[in-house]
């Protein structure tokens, strides 16, 4: 399968730079997989397409202030760190910006002026094949993030965020992501209450998102791509709710591609364990790569944003709805001037 089959041209002005207000005022493209019909709505009308008994599964991971600034010691050269994923109690993989950041480089984090307080120290352990670094902090870095860190925005967003919580879902709970599960950004607390009042249930899984989610596939063929690994969790009670919904014939609707990845990873693990259930509880890494030809085991419907060209996320939704239909939907969204990517509009793949 050629990677170029998942390419498309997007006018730069359609990349949303700021979130729309209120959250649920974003547009919603309804994509009917059976008929190919495309219907234009707004996200606050999502309940019109839900049924009593539906189970909506969201990702409750919360974005951490993963961007840190510091300087090399003793030279004073400026350094920027972007934490990607935790590799140990005090070790993180990070992207770095600065000159000659080699193994052994010592970095002092920039701190507000405080009397008698030494800056936190980090040391570069290794330069990885991808170009990122393994960074070891003198103590778990989480203790400094709220005071020294900044919530990172995707590289295609160039305007500063006025309110940090606007890049968090209203149901975010467990810290660990460096990017938001963006399909959930459209939900307000009031909309969730309205949906629940119609007999729709919510369940939450966790997947901590890394920046690899934004990187386009570079290989000529899709199958040659090495998918990134992310940490995910589905608790026993949540697995029980999903299994009960499946046994009762109720629809399981994934709120975003990260929820899809957890659900389908748990479904694959259930098959491996042979326990006869649709999903099984899990906590750990997943390297599941979903592209056309994949057979979905758990997800019946999907709510998702519009994704970058040549991205694994575009391949994932193409596996769900068919590449041709997805490309038709994207072309329609471009003609209708939808807003794209993290702060953009949404699709409901039915």
Query: What is the pTM (predicted TM-score) of this model?
Result: 0.93
Pairwise CA distance, residues 83 & 135, whole Å: 9
DSSP SS3 for 242:
helix
Which pLDDT value is given to residue 116? Answer: 58
User: What gap in Å lies between CA 316 and CA 228, rounded to an integer?
Assistant: 14
Check if the beta carbon of residue 63 is closer than 8 Å to that of residue 151. Answer: yes
Name the class of domain 67-148.
mainly beta
Per-residue pLDDT band for 162 (boundaries 50, 70, 90) equals confident
Tokens of 37: 């019909």
Q: Could you give the CA distance from residue 53 to residue 69 in angstroms, rounded to a whole number?
A: 48
Where residue 214 falls among pLDDT bands split at 50, 70, 90?
low
Domain ranges of the chain: 3-63+160-349, 67-148
Of the pLDDT bands very low, low, confident and very high (cuts 50, 70, 90), residue 114 is low
Mean pLDDT score, 296-305? 98
What is the residue-averaged pLDDT of the chain?
94
| Cα separations in angstroms, 20 against 26, 133, 210 | 6, 35, 24
Pick the CATH number of 3-63+160-349 from 3.30.70.890, 3.40.50.300, 3.30.470.10, 3.40.1780.10: 3.40.1780.10
Pairing of strands 55-59, 252-255: parallel
- 321-329 average pLDDT score: 98
328 pLDDT tier (thresholds 50, 70, 90): very high
Is the confidence at residue 115, as pLDDT, over 60? no
| pLDDT, tens only, 237-274 | 999 999 999 999 999 999 999 999 999 999 999 999 99
Residue 113: its pLDDT value, please? 66
Q: Which two tokens stand for residue 90?
A: 């005090």
Q: Which DSSP string corresponds to 149-162?
A: -B----TT--SPPS
The two three-digit tokens of residue 162, written as one number: 């006025």
| Closest-CA residue to 64 (of 180, 162, 170, 171) | 180
Mean local confidence (pLDDT), 88-103: 94
In 3D space, the residue among 149, 176, 180, 145 whose CA is nearest the CA of residue 165 turns out to be 180
Query: Average pLDDT, stretch 122-127?
Result: 96
Query: Residue 51's pLDDT is what?
Result: 97
Residue with tokens 């935790």: 86
């Amino acid at each position: 399968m050629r990677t170029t089959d998942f390419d498309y041209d997007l006018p730069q002005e359609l990349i949303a730079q700021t979130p729309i207000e209120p959250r649920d005022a974003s547009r919603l493209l309804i994509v009917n997989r059976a008929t190919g019909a495309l219907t234009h709505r707004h996200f606050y009308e999502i309940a019109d397409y839900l049924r009593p008994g539906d189970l909506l599964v969201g990702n409750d991971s919360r974005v951490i202030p993963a961007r840190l600034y510091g300087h090399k010691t003793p030279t004073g050269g400026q350094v920027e760190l972007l934490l990607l994923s935790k590799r140990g109690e005090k070790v993180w993989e990070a992207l770095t910006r600065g000159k000659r950041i080699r193994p052994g480089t010592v970095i002092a984090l920039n701190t507000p002026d405080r009397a008698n307080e030494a800056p936190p120290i980090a040391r570069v352990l290794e330069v990885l094949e991808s170009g990122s670094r393994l960074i070891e902090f003198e103590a778990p870095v989480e203790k400094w993030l709220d005071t020294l860190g900044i919530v990172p925005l995707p590289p295609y967003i160039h305007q500063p965020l006025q309110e940090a919580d606007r890049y968090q879902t209203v149901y975010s709970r467990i810290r660990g992501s460096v990017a938001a599960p963006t399909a959930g950004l459209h939900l307000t607390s009031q909309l969730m209450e309205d949906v629940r009042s119609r007999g729709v249930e919510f369940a939450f899984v966790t997947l901590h998102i890394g920046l690899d989610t934004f990187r386009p596939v570079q290989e000529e063929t899709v199958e040659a791509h090495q998918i990134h690994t992310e940490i995910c969790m589905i608790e026993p009670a949540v697995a029980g709710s999903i299994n009960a919904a499946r046994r009762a014939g109720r629809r399981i609707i994934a709120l975003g591609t990260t929820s899809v990845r957890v659900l389908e990873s748990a479904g694959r693990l259930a098959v491996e364990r042979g326990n006869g259930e649709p999903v099984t509880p899990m906590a750990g890494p997943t390297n599941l790569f979903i592209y056309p030809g994949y057979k979905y085991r758990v997800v019946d419907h999907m709510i998702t944003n519009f994704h970058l060209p040549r991205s694994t996320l575009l391949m994932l939704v193409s596996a769900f709805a068919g590449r041709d239909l997805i490309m038709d939907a994207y072309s329609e969204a471009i003609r209708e001037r939808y807003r794209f990517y993290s702060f953009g509009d949404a699709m409901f793949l039915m």
